[in-house]
A and B are shown apart, each in its own frame.
Chain A
Amino acid sequence: MSVLVGEGTRLCVSGITGREGSFHAMNNRRYGTDVVAGVTPGKGGQDVEGVPVFNTFHEAVEQRGANTAMVFVPPSFAADSILEAADAGIEVIIAITEGVPAHDELRVYTHLRRLDGVALIGPNCPGVLSPGKANVGIIPAAFFSQGNVGVVSRSGTLTYQIGNELAQSGFGNSSIVGIGGDPVPGSSFIDIIALFEADPETELIVMSGEIGGSAEEEAAEYIAASVSKPVVGYIAGVTAPPGKTMGHAGAIVSGSSGSAAAKIEALEDKGVRVGRTPTEVAEIAVELLGG
């Protein structure tokens, strides 16, 4: 098993005729992901290396049975593309686009939460990789193998770093989920941790957070109340000064809220062990599961 993407994924890529969109769609297909369609308004009827392009998500769902969307369009079009995918009945929407306005994210989030059975991952995320099954997004799959550790992270390259440390210690992954570094991510740590808790293949959960917001603190409460599997945490930004956005729109310490120290304390208070470095995360995983 895996979460969000896997053998049943039928992927439709919005922005497939763009340079980045086509590059990563083909990369995902080479990995084994079933890329069934692309959407670019006005380019319906064309194809990208054999993948049919449609004008609307609705056509892609009707004619190709797409059930998963990857959104690769520029920030000004991203919210619209996500809403269209949801309207067409797509169940898992993975939005890679960076720089989506926060108010757009807020409207999209509020709307999608009122629908039943739609999961949005991102925006501003590296996507979801279920090693050996499917890769949707830009995660470099070569570094990861199938296994029993589920990883959820707000950051892309930091996920690769932690995944690599885990791989060096002999661990593979059920799924790796990048939820993104924006103020209103479509899915939170809690949403993904709940999926890992229910996934039989996952035996250990690694959550990699960073400064800003309160998602890690909320996750700590949730883990204490509802998660039976061991969870290892990591928080980036211990040395980040208040008032400065650290690259991600969501990564900012304002006043006393959102600091790394507060997040580490919240997690440890609830019995979640937190690695002080990515290397230590892998060491704790070895302790908990055996090498």
Chain B
Amino acid sequence: MDLLEYQGKQLFARHGVPVPEGRPARDVDAALAAADEVGYPCVVKAQVKVGGRGKAGGVRVAQSREEVREHADAILGMDIHGFTVHEVWIEAASDIAEEYYASIVFDRSAKAPLFMLSTQGGVDIEEVARRDPGAIARLHVDPLLGFQDFHGRRLAFEAGVAADVVRPLGALLARLYDAFVGEEAMLVEVNPLIVTQDREVAALDAKVTLDDNALFRHPENADLRDVSSEDEQERMAHERGLTYVKLDGDIGILGNGAGLVMSTLDVVAQAGGSPANFLDAGGGSKAEAIVAAVEVILSDPKVKAVLFNIFGGITRCDEVARGLIAAFAQVKPTVPFVVRLDGTNDEEGRRLLAEADLPNVHPETTMLGAAQKVVEVASA
């Protein structure tokens, strides 16, 4: 789960990472009240989960109350690269002397957190990495040892930070690591990490991705999920406990198991079709889950045909067939279905479907044959 900038900063603040004072606001009046509290000048910052806010006009400095009104009015509701701004963050303006970059990523390949620090912050770090890879200091932290003071010094000296901020910067990095581990993040990124004219360090931006699997231990973070930014079908699926990803095409897909569903999307694409979604009905799918899944798939008006690709392991094909029959009774689909049932109780499942004689349902015996059939009926 990705956090908004201000949610990331609030999370940082809980772990002692210095951040400028600020308040979130959802309308102009709230923005004015927030500005009055943090003082002037202040910065009005669009809160969207996409880069390039500054260039798009989503970050503006306000010298006065009147300018806060003007900027908040302009930014709220603004579209930034396809994301509508629902919220702004009003932050005390900082007196910036230097802009650094710091991040910790969960490095799957090295199986350790990877810390990166550069004095060339405030710009696209991937650009820095291409132009001048030596400008980024990197080190892996042993997950069982944790972040030590020497790690901070090494990073700071290798990155070439100003000598007078090595100590406060090291302290900030240690707290950033606390936040990364304590909140179970997959990524924390600070760009820019600033040094002020008074030689203090602070996180001026925050990009945080949390591990969804760990949210049960962090209810305060779980509450941050922003359902308003989710796609309608994705929200429906989430409420029904299904794993659904919206895609661009017109063939609805349901399968059991993430790998098989991914493979099904590929095989449909190879057959010349274009999948409308990824939907994993999960292991041991019961009839009710199948009904819910059909509801979600068909709520996408682009869907012209649906493919069921089931290889039963824990999932029983007769349960899937019962679910499909129930779905036809409740949802009354008007588009054709192609159904491939293989694995546990497949014969019983096929028999149930044949008996039910559902309108416009085409049974197929192989994955490849089913993919070709669904492409054919979708384009008919």
Mark A residues whose CB is within 8 Å of B: 75-76, 99-104, 106-107, 109-111, 126, 138-140, 143, 153-161, 164, 181, 183-184, 208, 210-211, 213-215, 218, 234, 236-241, 244-251, 255, 260, 276-279
CB distance from A101 to the nearest CB of B (A): 4
CA distance A88 to B184 in the complex (A): 28
B379 at the interface (CB under 8 A from A): no
Residues of B within 8 A of A104 (CB): 214
Q: A139-B313, A181-B259, A247-B261 are in contact. Are A111 and B144 (CB under 8 A)?
A: yes
Does the CB pair A158–B184 fall under 8 Å?
A: no
Q: For chain A, what secondary structure do more than half of its interface residues adopt (helix, strand, loop), or is it mixed?
A: loop
Expressed in whole angstroms, the Cα–Cα distance for A231 and B314 within the complex equals 29
Q: Determine whether the beta carbon of A278 is less than 8 Å from that of B367.
A: yes
User: Which residue from A139, A143, A248 sits with its C-beta under 8 Å from B259?
Assistant: A248
Given the complex of chains A and B, what is the CA–CA distance between A107 and B366 in angstroms?
A: 42
Total contacting residues, chain B, CB less than 8 A: 50
How near does chain A come to B39, taking the closest CB pair, in angstroms?
38
Partner of B258 from the list A106, A247, A260 (CB cut-off 8 Å) is A247
Closest residue to A249 on the B side, CB-wise?
B213
* Least distance between A33 CB and chain B CB atoms (Å): 17
Q: How far is the CB of B46 from chain A (nearest CB, A)?
A: 20
Q: Can you list, as one digit per residue, whether each of B250-264 has a CB less than 8 Å from chain A (1) or not (0)?
A: 000001111111110
24 A-B residue pairs with Cβ-Cβ distance under 8 Å, sorted by A, are A101-B214, A102-B186, A109-B111, A110-B142, A110-B143, A138-B314, A140-B344, A156-B259, A157-B255, A157-B257, A157-B315, A160-B343, A184-B108, A214-B108, A234-B263, A237-B266, A238-B266, A239-B269, A241-B247, A245-B245, A247-B278, A248-B258, A251-B258, A251-B262
**Could you tell me the distance between the alpha carbons of A101 and B181 in the complex, rounded to whole angstroms?**
11
Bound: A255/B130 CA distance, A: 15
B37 at the interface (CB under 8 A from A): no
* B106, CB-defined interface residue at 8 Å: yes
Q: How far is the CA of A215 from the CA of B368 in the complex (A)?
A: 27
Q: Bound state CA distance, A159 and B144, in angstroms?
A: 34
Which 7 interchain pairs have the tightest Cβ spacing?
A: A155-B259, A247-B258, A157-B257, A158-B259, A101-B214, A157-B260, A236-B262
> A157 touching B313 by the CB < 8 A rule?
yes
Instruction: Assess whether B111 is in contact with A160, with CB atoms less than 8 Å apart.
Output: no
User: Are A236's CB and B109's CB within 8 A?
Assistant: no
Min Cβ gap B331→A in Å is 23
Q: How far is the CB of A189 from chain B (nearest CB, A)?
A: 13
Find chain B residues with CB under 8 A from A106 CB. 106, 111-112, 143
Q: Which of chain B's residues has its CB closest to A99's CB? A: B213
Q: B280 on the interface (CB 8 Å rule)?
A: yes
B343 touches A140 (CB 8 A): yes
Give the complex CA separation of A291 and B50 in angstroms.
52
A87 to nearest B CB, angstroms? 15
> Given A106-B143, A247-B280, A278-B367: A214 and B109 within 8 A (CB)?
yes
Whether B283 and A138, one on each chain, are in contact in the complex, defined by CB atoms closer than 8 angstroms, is yes
User: A110-B142, A181-B258, A236-B266 known; 16 other A-B pairs, CB under 8 Å?
Assistant: A75-B216, A99-B213, A101-B213, A138-B283, A143-B343, A155-B257, A157-B256, A158-B262, A160-B260, A215-B109, A236-B263, A241-B247, A244-B245, A247-B278, A279-B367, A279-B368
Q: Are B270 and A276 in contact (CB under 8 A)?
A: yes
Q: Are A138 and B184 within 8 A (Cβ)? A: no
Q: Tell which of A75, A76, A161, A260 touches B260, judged by Cβ atoms closer than 8 Å.
A: A161
- A250 lies within 8 A of B108 (CB): yes
What separation, in Å, do the CA atoms of A200 and B19 have in the docked complex?
A: 60
B290-322 interface bits toward A, Cβ cutoff 8 Å, 1 = contact, 0 = none: 000000000000000000000111110000000
Q: Which of A107, A156, A244 contacts B313 (CB 8 A)?
A: A156
Tell me the minimal C-beta distance from A185 to chain B in angstroms.
9
Cα–Cα, bound, A118→B278 (Å) = 36
Instruction: Tell whether B265 is near chain A: CB-to-CB under 8 Å.
Output: yes
Given A184-B111, A218-B109: A154 touches B214 (CB 8 Å cut-off): no
Give A184 to B113 CA distance when docked, in angstroms.
12
CA distance A13 to B144 in the complex (A): 27
Interface string of B35-68 (1 = CB under 8 A from A): 0000000000000000000000000000000000
Q: Which residues of A contact B186 (CB under 8 A)?
A: 102, 183
CB distance from A11 to the nearest CB of B (A): 19
**Contact pattern, B 79-118, Cβ under 8 Å of A = 1, otherwise 0:** 0000000000000000000000000001011011000000
Compute how far the CA of A245 lies from the CA of B267 in the bound complex, rounded to whole angstroms.
19
Which residue of the partner chain A has the closest CB to B310? A157
